[in-house]
Structure 1
Amino acid sequence: MSGKESFHDQPAHEEDPARKSPLWKRIGWLVTIWAGSVFVLFIFASLLRMFMTAAGMKSH
């Protein structure tokens, strides 16, 4: 090739750095990101409901 290393030129024994972290840490990040997205969705829905109520739309 042109002398530059590519992704495919890495030795097979070098693993992805994300794989080296413990399973509990990876699951912790997954749960944290999921909980954060649920919280942001709750805030957005609450603000939307507040604005709709202020505009005179009521959910009865």
Structure 2
Amino acid sequence: MTGKGTIDEEKKPLWQRLGWLALIWVGSVVSLAIVAWLMRLFMSAAGLSTH
């Protein structure tokens, strides 16, 4: 085996690697916001208040 697959992956353009990083970051921020919103929804349904 020559390991050609790993060499091709390392030569991806910088914008493509940064794009994946940005996509993962945005996805994690959105998922965290959804979890926080659901927690507030359940807390208010249980009679708890955030203010």
TM-score interval for Structure 1 and Structure 2 normalised by the shorter chain? 0.7 to 0.9
Gaps of 5+ in 1: none
| Aligned residues: CA RMSD | 1.8
Query: Which of 1 and 2 has higher RCO (CA within 8 Å, sep 6+)?
Result: 2
**TM-score normalized by structure 1?**
0.72
Which residue of structure 2 lines up, in the alignment, with residue 43 of structure 1? 34
Structure showing greater Rg: 1
Where do 5+ consecutive residues of structure 2 fail to align?
none
User: What number of residue pairs does the alignment pair up?
Assistant: 50
Higher helix share: 2
